[in-house]
Amino acid sequence: MKEKLVVIGNGMAGMRCIEELLGIAADKFAITVFGAEPYGNYNRILLTPVLYGGKRIEDIMIHDLAWYREHRIVLRCGPEQEIIAIDRDKRLVIARDGSRTHYDRLLIATGSRSHILPIPGAGVEGVIGFRDIADVEYMIDRSRTHEHAVVLGGGLLGLEAANGLLQRGMRVTVVNRAKHILNKQLDECAAAMLQKELEAKGVRFRLGTTISTVTNDDKHITGVVLDDGSELPANLLIMATGIVPNIELAQSAGLRCERGIIVKDSLLTSDERVYAIGECVQHRGELFGLVAPVYQQAKVCARNLAGENQAAFRSIAPATALKVSGINLFSIGDYRGDENTEIQLLIDHARRIYRKIVLRNNTIVGMLMYGDTSESAWFQQLIRDNVDVSRMRDGLIFGKSAPAEAQ
């Protein structure tokens, strides 16, 4: 008889793990998947083009309902199928509708949620995060009848939300506490180039400030007051201020948690029958919000579920790419540098190209690319393989296709 594998979470992390598992041990488990959203598995990264109209919901589905049936996976999805408790002694998961399902192995992939700041007045209609299909559908609906949107947070998600709402016809202002946008991925020079390009598209910015109060008519948002005393009209406020790992279920089950669910290199939790992967986990003190390390976790977890028992997860330097139409941006590793690093720069304002390479002991430890990112994969490989670039450093800033005289 097959072992019973239950997966809590029908998102990209959990389903990538199941996809990997099917490729190496398709007959090992009878698999049941629980998801709180009433859909198959979809690509959250592509919610932005859905927002601005470049894609439809059906275009971003990774595994539709037919895929689960084809692979004999029981999918229980929708609000009533959300798992609300885990009984580790009896090895049961309990859904909101009261049903109980037994497991031999459990995989927790509950992901994360938007970090909604407790701003006075924010508990009204029109204040949301940007996390799932429901959020996108709400923003699209709101944009049809309202004019003013404010996005709190000048990170990747905030800029993508701003661009999407702008293309939906709204007047958009991005409010960011830091003095430049993408302050975790870009230096001041690259950020200024990006801001100028977004301003040319119509996005407005208020930097070095944040929202102190949300004004409303008791039911709906009407505007925001910034901490410098100025006011902005707002019929929609998107909080793009980070994510919070969904660990409450694991905590209530007695699993070891800190900021995330603590996992070993094998992706096992403190319970030898329970694995966890994705944005809900904490590995060697690190949390995860990008797809590359999460997919690596999925691969390692699948191999351990299959019985290999030697697979170990190691975090890799995450790369950042912006998904705003017509703008190319790439950032990876330590792009700031310190007294022990050397920096190479290439700035071409006419062509709107910026390239910065940070070197330590003849290896690249970080870089930024803005405008032309065509060789980002090559540079990323140099970083991940810790390649000695001493022989090519004279022409390194020009990339793999550098002219011979620069090599």
Residue 120 inside a domain? The answer is: no
Residue 261: burial class (beta carbons within 10 Å; 0-12, 13-18, 19+): buried
Query: Are 105 and 29 within one domain?
Result: yes
Burial bucket for residue 159 (CB in 10 Å: 0-12, 13-18, 19+): buried
Residues 167 and 228 in one domain: yes
What average pLDDT values come out for the chain (407 residues) when binned by 10 residues? 96 98 96 96 94 95 97 97 98 98 98 96 96 97 97 94 96 97 91 93 97 95 97 98 97 98 98 98 94 95 93 83 76 90 93 94 94 91 92 91 52
Both 270 and 224 in one domain: the answer is no
Residue 276: its pLDDT value, please?
Answer: 98
Specify whether 253 is located in the same domain as 275: yes
> What residue numbers bound the domain in which 332 lies?
328-406
Q: 101 and 249: one domain? A: yes
25-29 LR contacts (CB < 8 Å, sep 24+): 25/305, 25/306, 25/307, 26/71, 27/2, 28/2, 28/3, 28/305, 28/306, 28/307, 29/2, 29/3, 29/4, 29/5, 29/105, 29/305
Count the domains in the chain: 3
In-domain check, residue 318? no
Query: Half-sphere exposure of residue 260, counting CA atoms within 13 Å on the CB side?
Result: 28
Predicted confidence at residue 162, as pLDDT, reads 96
CA distances from 354 to 60, 152, 157, 370, 399 (A): 32, 27, 22, 5, 13
Domain CATH code at residue 139: 3.50.50.60
Structure confidence at residue 325 (pLDDT): 63
What is the distance between the alpha carbons of residues 34 and 75, in angstroms, rounded to a whole number?
6
What pLDDT is recorded for position 400? 86
Same domain flag for 41 and 91: yes
In a domain, 269, yes or no: yes
The pLDDT value given to residue 407: 47
Same domain? For 258 and 234 the reply is: no
> CA 318, CA 295: separation in Å to the nearest integer?
12
Residue 316 in any domain: the answer is no
321, part of any domain: no
Do residues 23 and 83 share a domain?
Answer: yes
Q: Could you tell me if 108 and 145 lie in one domain?
A: no
364 burial class (0-12, 13-18, 19+ CB within 10 angstroms)? buried
**Which CATH number fits the domain that encloses residue 388?**
3.30.390.30
Does residue 24 share a domain with residue 9?
Answer: yes
Q: Give the pLDDT of residue 406.
A: 47
| Domain presence at residue 255 | yes
Which one of 216, 239, 262 terminates a domain?
239
Instruction: Show which of 197, 213, 239 is a domain's final residue.
Output: 239
Task: Report the Cα 249 to chain-centroid distance in Å.
Answer: 21
With respect to residue 119, please indicate whether it lies within any of the assigned structural domains: no
The answer on 172 and 91 residing in a single domain is no
Give 367's Cβ-side CA count (13 Å radius): 29
Same domain, 231 and 293: no
Find out whether 161 and 342 touch, Cβ atoms under 8 Å.
Answer: no
**Is 314 part of any domain?**
no
User: Does residue 207 contact residue 188 with C-beta atoms inside 8 Å?
Assistant: no
